[in-house]
Amino acid sequence: MGYNPEQVDALLDLAKRQYESPEEVLLRASDLRGLRLDLVRGGYAVAQVDAALDNLEDHFIQAEVKAFRQRYGDQELTKRFDELQQALIPRLRRASGKRFAKVSILARGYDKKKVDEFCDQLMAHFQGGPRIKVYKVRRAQFSATRSGYSMPQVDSFLDRVIEALQLEITE
């Protein structure tokens, strides 16, 4: 199983058009971050496509931050990063086992203990401790368990963490 070649090719064609004409915004880094591609038999290798999409996302975020910086200045960029970070911190400060919504006992969600351990690492990062790289957040995987954390909620939160880390890197 691999990613649907038609979807990947269409996406890469769009990215190529944007790369060749930077003033034309066809894709944003956030579009790539939240992207879900279909898996099909005989599709493109997942790891290779994911790596290519990560590189595109990094390129697009750098271009977006550069444009933002040129338009609004460094002070506004720092303000944007601080606002995003401050939106993440309250959830990270919650008690273990209570950071995200819990799914019902019949449903499967992310392993709370593993998610909480990762959240502790993120909190340390935002408090000036050991740094976490964007790729580590992108590749974070948690096993599914009964009564775990809501998968969509955790995934959405991690997308915002990635956005904050990308702004932090480009400051």
pLDDT at position 170 is 53
The band of 166, judged by pLDDT with boundaries at 50, 70 and 90, is: confident
Question: Where exactly are the structural domains of the chain?
Answer: 2-71, 94-170
Answer yes or no: are the C-beta atoms of 85 and 126 closer than 8 Å.
Answer: yes
User: In a 3-state reduction of DSSP, which class is residue 45?
Assistant: coil
User: In this structure, what token pair is assigned to residue 78?
Assistant: 């720092």
Distance in angstroms between the alpha carbons of the first and the last residue of the chain: 39
Among 61, 163, 154, 167, which residue's Cα sits nearest to residue 113? 154
Reply yes or no on whether the pLDDT at 125 is more than 60.
yes
Q: Which residues have C-beta within 8 Å of that of residue 18, sequence separation ≥ 6?
A: 24, 25, 26, 27, 60
> Span 160-169, mean pLDDT?
84
Long-range (24+ apart) CB contacts under 8 A made by 91-94 are 91/119, 91/157, 92/119, 92/122, 92/123, 92/126, 93/123
Reply yes or no on whether the pLDDT at 55 is more than 90.
no
Reply yes or no on whether the pLDDT at 139 is more than 70.
yes
Reply yes or no on whether the pLDDT at 48 is more than 90.
yes
Residue with more model confidence, 64 or 102 = 102
pLDDT at position 33 is 77
Q: How many whole angstroms separate alpha carbon 70 and alpha carbon 170? A: 13
Q: Which residues have C-beta within 8 Å of that of residue 151, sequence separation ≥ 6?
A: 103, 109, 110, 144
In tens, the pLDDT along 69-115 reads 888 888 888 888 889 889 999 999 999 999 999 999 889 999 999 99
> Span 143-159, mean pLDDT?
93
pTM: 0.75
pLDDT at position 169 is 62
